[in-house]
Chains A and B, each alone.
Chain A
Amino acid sequence: MITPFQVACKNLLRKKMRTWLTLIGIMLSSWVLVSLFGFNRGYESALNRDIDNLGCQLMIMAKGCPYEAATLMLQGGQGLRYIEESMVQKIAREPEVERITPILMQAFFDPNKGESGGIAGFYGVEAASFPAMKPFLRFKNGGWFKGESAAEVVMGYEAAELEQREVGDFTLVPEKNVRLKVVGILERTGTQDDGTIFVPLKTLMKISGTDKITTIGITLKKDADQAKLENKLYQLPDLQVVSFSQVKQTIMKLVATARVMVFSIALVALLISMVGVVNTVLMSVLERKQEIGILKTMGAMPRDIFCLVWTETLILCSAGGMLGIAFALIFARVTDLLVRRILPYAPSGGLVEIDAGLALLTLLVIVAVGLASGIYPAWRAGSMRPLESIRSE
C-alpha cells in the first residue's frame, strides 16, 4: 500500500542529478558544522588535559609579561629571571597550599648540535617534592633520582630517543662538561615532558653556579580559595603569578576570534545550502502543479499536500545531514591536521571530538533550519487550487 512518505521519496528520485546536487550542498555544510562543534569541544578538553598534565595549578615566576610567561611555559621554554629559594618556604606556609615544588630551568650551549650549535635545556627538580606533583608519570625503565645532589638524570621518552640513551648510560651537560647518569626513562605522555631532561635541583644549581630558582609550582588543597591565594601572592614583590585558569583563558581568547570567524562561515554555508534546498523543492512543486491538483481531487487536504512537500525537505536535509556527519567522522583525522596548521597553539592529542550527542545536535540543527526554509514551498503547494493547477500548462 502506498504511503505519502513513499510518494515523497519517489518524487525526489524523479530528478536524480538535482537531488544529488542539493544533497551534496547540505552534506558539505553539515560536515563543516559538525567538525566545528567537535573541534570546539575537543580543543577545550585537550587544553584541559595538557594543563592538568603540568601537575600544578599555579606557577610563580620572576616578574615578566603574562602572555610571554604563558607561551614560554607551554612551549617548555625557560624564564631567564630568578627567584630566591627562600620564597618556597614562605609560600608553603599559606593555608591553601597543599604541595609546593621549586624548579630551576637552565640552558647550555652545545657547539656540536647541528650545523652551528644548539641549546640543551635541563630542568632541575626536587626529588622529594616534584614527583608528588605529577603522580601520573610512568617510567619505561628505572625511576627517580636517589638523592637531592645525585649526578643523575631522568629523561623524557623523546629526549632519550633522540640521544639514544638507556638506563645506565651517561649524558653530558655541554659547556660545563659534567657527566650525569641516566637512572630513569619516562613513558610517552604526549606532553612537553617527553622532550625534557630532569636533573636533581641541587645538582643543577651546582653545575650552573647559582642558588636561585626560576619557577615554583603549587597545587592547592581541594576546597581552597584559589583567588584568595592568588591575591596574597600578587603582593609579593618581583613575582609573577600565573594561574592556569588564566592561561587557559588567554589561549581560549586567542582561539575565540578564529572560532567566531569559522562559525560564521559555517553558518553562511548552511544558509546557502538551505537556499539550494528551497530552490530544489520549490522547482519540483511548480513542475508538479497538475499532479498536486489531482491529489486534491482525490481527497488530499491542503495540510496533506503541505506535509508531503515538507517531507521531501525533511528527507533531503536528514539524508544530507547524516552523510555530512558520516564523512566528518571518517575524515576527523584530516580535519585535525588542517586545524593544527592554522592555529597558533594546539594542544596534543585528538583535537576534534565528535560523539553521538554532537552528531545528533548537528542533525537537529540542519533539519530544523531545513524545515523552516521548507515552509514556503510546502505552503505554496498546499494552497494551490486544483483547478488552477490542473489547467496550467
Chain B
Amino acid sequence: MADHEMALEVRELVRVYRRGSEEIRALDGVSLSIPKGEFISFMGPSGCGKTTLINLLGCLDNPSSGELSLGGKPIFGAGKQLSETELTLLRRQAFGYIFQNFYLIPTLTVRENVALPLAFYRKPGGEGEAEVDRLLGLLGIEHRGEHLPREISGGEMQRVAIARALVNRPEILIADEPTGNLDSRRSAEIGEVLQEINRAGLTVIMVTHSPGLARLGGRIVEMRDGRAFEE
C-alpha cells in the first residue's frame, strides 16, 4: 500500500438495493480517484447516495458492479463478491471509522474503549498500548482515561472514537457525519482535529451536511441521485 500514490480509485461503481419487488439504484456509476493524504468531503441531500458511496469506499459493503482499487491493488471487480471475513481482513489493515453516534461501548472506560481494537487485532509493527496513551494525549483526553462514556461530553466522546479509530495506525479514516450530534463549537473543534490528522498524513474521507466543515478539507464532491459531481 505504501508505494502507490493513489489511496483509493473507483470506476463505474454501482450499488442496487432490492426492496420487495422494487429496485433502487443508490449508486449509479461513480468514478473517482482519491490520492494519498487527501481530505475529501461528500455532500448532498438525503438519499443522494453519499452514505452508500462511503460504505463502499470503506469496504463495508460489496458493490453490485464496478471496480475498486485500494493502494493500487484491485479489490472489487468482475462481479467478485467478498465474504465478511475477507472484508474484515481488508478493513483492519487500512481503515479507521467514526460515526455520528460515536458508538462507544458503555461498560468500558475511555482508555478501554480506545484499546479495544487491539484485543482483536494488532497491526504488525504497531505500538500497541503505548499508542493508546499517545493518542489520548494527542486528542487532549488523557485526563478522561478512567471515565465511562456516560460521564463525558459529546465532543469528548467523538475524540475517544477518533482515538479508537486510529489505534491500529490506519491509512484512511472514514468519517460518516462526525459532527452530526455536536454543537457548533464542538464541531469546529472536531474539524480542527481532523485537519491535524490529515496534515500528519492520514487520508480522510468524510460525509457531512456542514459546508463549513467540508471547506476545511479542500476537496468537495456533490452527490445527487447516485451520481457524483465535482466543482
Determine if A344 is an interface residue (Cβ-Cβ < 8 Å).
no
Verify B88–A296 contact, CB threshold 8 A: yes
Contact of A301 among B88, B101, B116, B118 (CB under 8 A): B88
Verify A291–B105 contact, CB threshold 8 A: yes
Verify B129–A1 contact, CB threshold 8 A: yes
Determine if A365 is an interface residue (Cβ-Cβ < 8 Å).
no
Determine if B117 is an interface residue (Cβ-Cβ < 8 Å).
yes
Residues of B within 8 A of A302 (CB): 84-85, 88
- Number of contacting residues on B, CB 8 A? 29
Q: How far is the CA of A301 from the CA of B92 in the complex (A)?
A: 10
Contact of A299 among B55, B106, B112, B121 (CB under 8 A): B121
Within residues 13 to 41 of chain A, which ones have a CB less than 8 A from any CB in chain B? Answer: 13-14
Give chain B nearest CB distance to A151 CB in angstroms.
Answer: 84
Residues of B within 8 A of A390 (CB): 99, 103
Interface size class of A (residues with CB under 8 A): 20 to 34
**B interface, by DSSP: helix, strand, loop or mixed?**
helix
Verify A387–B120 contact, CB threshold 8 A: no
Contact of A387 among B60, B101, B112, B168 (CB under 8 A): B60
Give chain A nearest CB distance to B135 CB in angstroms.
Answer: 14
Verify A290–B103 contact, CB threshold 8 A: yes
Within residues 108 to 130 of chain B, which ones have a CB less than 8 A from any CB in chain A? Answer: 108, 112, 115-121, 129
**Quick one: closest B residue to A291, CB to CB?**
B105
Q: A2-B112, A2-B115 are in contact. Are A299 and B120 (CB under 8 A)?
A: yes
Q: A1-B129, A302-B85 are in contact. Are A295 and B97 (CB under 8 A)?
A: no
Verify A297–B60 contact, CB threshold 8 A: yes
Determine if A227 is an interface residue (Cβ-Cβ < 8 Å).
no
Verify B99–A298 contact, CB threshold 8 A: no
**Quick one: closest A residue to B89, CB to CB?**
A301
Q: How far is the CA of A291 from the CA of B101 in the complex (A)?
A: 11
Determine if A116 is an interface residue (Cβ-Cβ < 8 Å).
no
Residues of A within 8 A of B85 (CB): 301-303
Residues of B within 8 A of A301 (CB): 85, 88-89, 120
Give chain B nearest CB distance to A361 CB in angstroms.
Answer: 33
Determine if B164 is an interface residue (Cβ-Cβ < 8 Å).
yes
**Quick one: closest A residue to B99, CB to CB?**
A390
Q: How far is the CA of A7 from the CA of B92 in the complex (A)?
A: 20
Determine if A276 is an interface residue (Cβ-Cβ < 8 Å).
no
Residues of A within 8 A of B9 (CB): none
**Quick one: closest A residue to B129, CB to CB?**
A1
Q: A2-B112, A10-B108 are in contact. Are A298 and B103 (CB under 8 A)?
A: no
Verify A300–B105 contact, CB threshold 8 A: no
Verify A298–B107 contact, CB threshold 8 A: no
Residues of B within 8 A of A4 (CB): 119-120
Q: A299-B121, A301-B85, A385-B84 are in contact. Are A7 and B116 (CB under 8 A)?
A: yes
Determine if B186 is an interface residue (Cβ-Cβ < 8 Å).
no
Residues of A within 8 A of B61 (CB): 385, 387
Verify A304–B116 contact, CB threshold 8 A: no
**Quick one: closest A residue to B97, CB to CB?**
A297
Give chain B nearest CB distance to A225 CB in angstroms.
Answer: 67
Q: How far is the CA of A283 from the CA of B131 in the complex (A)?
A: 35
Verify B107–A299 contact, CB threshold 8 A: no
Residues of A within 8 A of B164 (CB): 298
Determine if B224 is an interface residue (Cβ-Cβ < 8 Å).
no
Within residues 300 to 327 of chain A, which ones have a CB less than 8 A from any CB in chain B? Answer: 300-304
**Quick one: closest B residue to A11, CB to CB?**
B107
**Quick one: closest B residue to A298, CB to CB?**
B117
**Quick one: closest A residue to B84, CB to CB?**
A302
- Binary interface encoding of chain A residues 382-393 relative to chain B, with 1 for a CB under 8 A from any of its CBs, else 0: 010111001000
Q: A297-B91, A297-B97 are in contact. Are A386 and B120 (CB under 8 A)?
A: no
Give 7 closest A-B pairs by Cβ, nearest first: A299-B92, A299-B121, A298-B117, A10-B107, A300-B120, A2-B112, A294-B103
Which B residues lie at the A interface, using CB under 8 A?
55, 60-61, 84-85, 88-89, 91-92, 95, 97, 99, 101, 103, 105-108, 112, 115-121, 129, 164, 168
- 23 example contacts (A-B, Cβ-Cβ < 8 A) are as follows A1-B115, A2-B115, A3-B119, A4-B120, A291-B105, A293-B103, A294-B97, A294-B99, A295-B120, A297-B60, A297-B95, A298-B92, A298-B120, A298-B164, A299-B91, A299-B92, A299-B120, A300-B120, A301-B89, A303-B85, A304-B120, A387-B55, A390-B103
Which A residues lie at the B interface, using CB under 8 A?
1-4, 7, 10-11, 13-14, 290-291, 293-304, 383, 385-387, 390
